[in-house]
């Protein structure tokens, strides 16, 4: 049975210090850090510790750009994104659905950002207003394409069973459960 003991504060600080040192070695190009990084990244939940979760990097950059120094606003936006992600993901998303949900959430944020910046450009020239309109149109097209793709993937994953008994017809649709394969 795995050791499930909660680490002490001292152990947590030591692990944090070790990870910080490893990250600094990696940042400066120390090739001897690579095997340790690979070993560390095999741990559950470790991906992203060195900034490799690119979707997260996009969200961090976008929320910083939108909120500026207003930390309350930034955290409020992040909370909205987390809730939107949870709502769209549902209870048991497939790996493809998780990727598509990230795309939908990113596109949704881009649409909101484009519309917000257009609304705030009160003294925009015709050229600037045209830019904002084209940007809103482009972000909205990407958002709708992402939503459509997610819906299509979900529709294709739902098996439909039709049972005809005498003159009564029963249609049943349920989420497909795809078992994980080993090997």
Interval 44-54: pLDDT, tens: 878 888 888 88
Task: List, in order, residues 6 or more apart from 42 with CB less than 8 Å away.
Answer: none
Can you read off the two tokens belonging to residue 174?
């349920």
User: What average pLDDT does the segment 171-175 reach?
Assistant: 59
The answer to whether residues 69 and 101 belong to one domain is yes
- For the ranges 68-72, 107-111, 178-182, the lowest mean pLDDT is seen at 178-182
- pLDDT the model gives residue 129: 93
- Quick one: pLDDT at residue 183? 45
Are the beta carbons of 172 and 163 closer than 8 angstroms? yes
Split into its structural domains, the chain has a count of 2
Same-domain status, 65 and 47: no
Distance between CA atoms of residues 45 and 133, nearest Å:
40
Averaged pLDDT, 163-181: 60
Q: Residues 29, 32, 34, 38: what is their CA dihedral angle, to the nearest 10 degrees?
A: -160
* Same domain, residue pair 57 and 144: yes
- CA geometry: angle 183, 40, 97, nearest 5 deg: 55
Is residue 113 located within the same domain as residue 28? no
Residues 6 or more apart whose Cβ sits within 8 Å of residue 59: 78, 81, 105, 106, 109
Tokens (6 digits) for 173? 């649709």
Q: What is the pTM of this model?
A: 0.71
- 116 and 73 part of one domain: yes
Express as a percent the part of the chain with pLDDT over 90.
Answer: 55
136 & 117 share domain:
yes
Q: Are residues 41 and 67 in the same domain?
A: no
Q: Does residue 19 form part of some domain?
A: yes
Computed from CA positions of residues 18, 19, 23, 26, in that sequence, does the dihedral angle turn out positive or negative?
A: positive
Residue 90: give its domain's CATH number: 1.20.1440
Q: What is the mean pLDDT of residues 54-59?
A: 88
What confidence tens digit (pLDDT) does each residue in 12-21 have? 888 888 888 8
Whole domain around residue 46: which residue ranges?
A: 11-52
Distance between terminal CA atoms of the chain?
24
């Amino acid at each position: 049975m795995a050791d499930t003991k909660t680490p002490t504060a001292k152990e947590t600080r030591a692990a944090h210090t070790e990870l910080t040192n490893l990250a600094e070695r990696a940042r400066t190009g120390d090739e001897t850090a690579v095997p340790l990084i690979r070993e560390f990244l095999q741990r559950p939940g470790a991906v992203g510790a060195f900034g490799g979760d690119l979707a997260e990097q996009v969200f961090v950059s976008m929320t910083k750009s939108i909120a500026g120094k207003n930390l309350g606003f930034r955290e409020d936006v992040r909370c909205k994104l987390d809730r939107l992600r949870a709502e769209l993901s549902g209870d048991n998303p497939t790996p493809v659905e998780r990727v598509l949900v990230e795309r939908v959430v990113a596109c949704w944020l881009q649409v909101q950002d484009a519309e917000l910046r257009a609304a705030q450009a009160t003294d925009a020239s015709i050229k600037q207003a045209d830019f904002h309109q084209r940007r809103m149109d482009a972000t909205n097209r990407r958002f709708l394409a992402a939503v459509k793709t997610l819906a299509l993937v979900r529709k294709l994953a739902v098996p439909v069973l039709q049972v005809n008994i005498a003159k009564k017809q029963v249609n049943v649709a349920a989420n497909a459960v795809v078992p994980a394969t080993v090997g």
